């Protein structure tokens, strides 16, 4: 039941926004799309092409030297194109923000955006889930490490070399499986990002394996110098194995019980919002929160 529910949720979000370019050559530089710049990258590890959408602030000053100021914080948003609400939110935030926003999405080899629930499962989940694999035609998952390697070793260098960015001020934004991925990074590769926006994380994955990641982190560290914003919608599943609200509360209680130094953590339940509708407000308010 939970697998069918999440497939239905995801498929309902797969609304592809029309784009005015086609036939981009791989890694040959950006193509302007209104206020957006788009790059095409290929991951050999994952055997997947990705569109890297870059939203620049209105007052953006291009990179001319290593010592030019200001240098801009960067916000990385996972799977931003298929979800029309998320895409609209990104554009709105980009209109009013002073940060560079980078969206990462799937593409074919010609650079056309594609839907890929298989890729979504593969890239954003940290382990294989036997229950998911048996009940679904989708991939079993478990390639979050490879996807993070792609972000750290290919996407970030492209952004750092091309744009006037602050390499020490980077944020990761993810919803659902994207939130699960964000927590995997926070607990296993924490220094990859400075701020985390975790919306409706799929903590049920692989018998709540995220709680094991948290335990391991707590056994090794007393410090978590991060800003983290958690959110869920009040109309998401409350309790049970896939209970979005109770599981998120439980994880936050665990984190708070550690008394980490330098951690700034906030949690918000958005009244009247479902798993689908909470996306936009979670991202918008989450970005505002971690930059306060």
In this prediction, residue 13 carries a pLDDT of 33
Q: What domains can you pick out in the chain, each with its CATH number? A: 35-290 (3.40.50.1820)
pTM, whole model, 2 decimals?
0.84
In this prediction, residue 228 carries a pLDDT of 98
Look at 3 and 68; give whichever has higher pLDDT.
68
Range of lowest pLDDT (21-35, 162-176, 202-216, 241-255)? 21-35
In this prediction, residue 3 carries a pLDDT of 35
In this prediction, residue 68 carries a pLDDT of 64
Q: Report the chain's terminal Cα–Cα distance, integer Å.
A: 39
Q: Cα–Cα distance between 31 and 288 in angstroms, integer?
A: 29
């Amino acid at each position: 039941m939970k697998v069918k529910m999440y497939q239905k949720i995801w498929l309902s979000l797969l609304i592809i926004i029309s784009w005015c370019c086609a036939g981009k050559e791989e890694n040959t530089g950006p193509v302007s799309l209104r206020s957006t710049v788009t790059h095409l990258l290929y991951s050999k590890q994952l055997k997947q092409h990705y569109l890297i959408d870059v939203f620049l602030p209105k007052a953006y000053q291009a990179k001319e030297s290593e010592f030019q100021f200001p240098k801009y914080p960067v916000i990385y948003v996972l799977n931003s194109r298929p979800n029309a609400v998320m895409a609209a939110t990104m554009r709105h935030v980009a209109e009013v923000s002073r940060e560079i926003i980078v969206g990462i999405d799937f593409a074919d080899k010609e650079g056309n955006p594609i839907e890929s629930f298989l890729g979504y499962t593969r890239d954003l989940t940290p382990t294989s889930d036997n229950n998911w694999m048996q009940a679904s035609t989708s991939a079993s998952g478990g390639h979050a490490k490879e996807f993070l390697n792609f972000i750290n070793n290919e996407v970030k260098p492209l952004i750092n070399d091309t744009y006037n960015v602050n390499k020490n001020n980077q944020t990761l934004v993810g919803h659902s499986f994207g939130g699960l991925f964000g927590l995997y990074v926070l607990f296993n590769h924490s220094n990859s990002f400075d701020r985390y926006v975790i919306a409706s994380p799929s903590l049920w994955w692989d018998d709540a394996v995220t709680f094991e990641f948290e335990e391991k982190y707590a056994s090794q560290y007393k410090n978590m110098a991060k800003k983290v914003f958690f959110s869920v919608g009040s109309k998401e599943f409350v309790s049970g194995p896939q209970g979005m609200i109770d599981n998120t509360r439980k994880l936050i209680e665990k984190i708070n019980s550690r008394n980490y130094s330098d951690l700034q953590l906030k949690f918000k339940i958005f009244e009247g919002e479902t798993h689908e509708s909470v996306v936009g407000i979670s991202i918008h308010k989450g970005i505002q929160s971690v930059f306060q």
